[in-house]
């Protein structure tokens, strides 16, 4: 079945880089997404990557995809306190729906 | 000019009651979704409608009945509410239903069943 896994928690110091990791099982995934959820808010799409790409960069965000290992990562450069949130990895598989990971709670310390 | 809106934002009700939550999108999208996020933040799809037609129906109790009067609206009616229904319910929409289009989420409806 389809499954997406993430580590639950990450703590970094302000100004450092954050790397949030995700693994997925569905090899037919076409797109992989990163969503951000701030406290008490909905999900905000941060970025996505097409499965035939290895990397995508968007300002402070870098997405790396290792399709062989089914591993996706999100790197946030120069992490700010406003980046503190829950980050969800999601895949669109063969069943026309998004499968979400459990979310990684990022805490940025001043 | 909110893209995906939900009402109400908060809903507190007694066990056994029937309640509805509403969702509207002004993006001109064809597909809308309902997700449930539990207390551990785990997010799971419940339903999806494409052009008013049900296309995804996960194993959700039949106390939950979605209704799409038009492609810009997707409502969720819940009968005989139970304690375990307490969660945040998110509506989302996308251009099409292939699963490859970006989904845009509403702000969520926080349901608490007492």
Predicted confidence band at A84 (pLDDT cuts at 50, 70, 90)? very high
Distance from CA of B63 to the nearest CA of A (A): 22
Contact B43 A41 (CB under 8 A): no
Compute chain B's Rg from CA coordinates: 13
Contact A102 B56 (CB under 8 A): no
- Name the maximum alpha-carbon separation found in chain A: 42
Token pair of B103, please?
């989904």
Query: Looking at the DSSP assignment, which residues form a beta bridge with residue A108?
Result: A12
Check CB contact of A35 with chain B, cutoff 8 Å.
Answer: yes
Q: Are B23 and B106 in contact (CB under 8 A)?
A: yes
Check CB contact of B49 with chain A, cutoff 8 Å.
Answer: no
Contact A96 B99 (CB under 8 A): yes
pLDDT in tens, chain B (114 residues): 669 999 999 999 999 999 999 999 999 999 999 999 998 888 888 988 888 888 888 878 899 999 999 989 999 999 999 999 999 999 999 887 665 678 899 999 999 999
Contact B107 A42 (CB under 8 A): yes
Mean pLDDT of the A65-90 span: 95
Q: For residue B90, give the nearest of A43, A95, A97 by CB distance.
A: A43
What kind and span of H or E run contains A45? strand A43-50
Check CB contact of A87 with chain B, cutoff 8 Å.
Answer: no
Contact A93 B45 (CB under 8 A): no
Residue B23, helix vs strand vs coil: strand
Check CB contact of A47 with chain B, cutoff 8 Å.
Answer: no
Residue A83, helix vs strand vs coil: helix
Check CB contact of B48 with chain A, cutoff 8 Å.
Answer: yes
Least confident of A5-14, A101-110, B52-61: B52-61
pLDDT for res B97? 63
What kind and span of H or E run contains B61? none
Within 10 Å of residue A15's Cβ, how many Cβ atoms? 11
Query: Which residues of A are less than 8 Å from B41 in CB distance?
Result: 37, 86, 102-103
Integer CA distances (angstroms), A74 to A69, A77, B63, B107, in order: 15, 10, 38, 23
> For the residues of B65-86, what is the DSSP string, one character each?
EEEEEETTEEEEEE-S--GGG-
Integer CA distances (angstroms), B35 to B32, B96, B98, in order: 10, 17, 17
Mean pLDDT of the A32-36 span: 93
Burial class (CB within 10 angstroms; exposed 0-12, middle 13-18, buried 19+) of B41: middle
Compute the distance between CA of residue B30 and CA of residue B53 in angstroms, rounded to an integer. Answer: 10
pLDDT of A1 higher than 70: no
The terminus-to-terminus CA distance of chain B in angstroms comes to 34
Characterize the bridge pairing of strands A104-109 and A9-13.
parallel
Q: Are A62 and A77 in contact (CB under 8 A)?
A: yes
């Amino acid at each position: 079945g389809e499954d997406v896994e993430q580590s639950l928690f990450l703590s970094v110091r302000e100004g450092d880089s954050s790397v949030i990791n995700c693994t997925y099982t569905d090899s037919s995934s076409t797109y992989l997404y990163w969503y951000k959820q701030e406290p008490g808010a909905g999900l905000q799409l941060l970025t996505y990557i097409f499965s035939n790409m290895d990397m995508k960069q968007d300002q402070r965000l870098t997405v790396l995809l290792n399709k062989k290992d089914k591993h996706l990562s999100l790197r946030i450069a120069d992490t700010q306190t406003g980046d503190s949130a829950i980050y969800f990895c999601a895949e669109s598989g063969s069943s026309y729906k998004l499968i979400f990971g459990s979310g990684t709670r990022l805490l940025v310390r001043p | 000019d909110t893209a995906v809106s939900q009402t109400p934002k908060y809903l507190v009700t007694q066990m056994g009651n029937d309640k509805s939550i509403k969702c509207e999108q002004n993006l001109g999208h064809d597909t809308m979704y309902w997700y449930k996020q539990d207390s551990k933040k785990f997010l799971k799809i419940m339903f999806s409608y494409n052009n008013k037609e049900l296309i995804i129906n996960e194993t959700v109790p039949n106390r939950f009945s979605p209704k799409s009067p038009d492609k810009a609206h997707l409502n969720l009616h819940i009968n005989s509410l139970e304690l375990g229904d307490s969660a945040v319910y998110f509506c989302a929409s996308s251009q099409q239903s292939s699963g490859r289009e970006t989904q845009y989420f509403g702000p969520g409806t926080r349901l608490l069943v007492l």
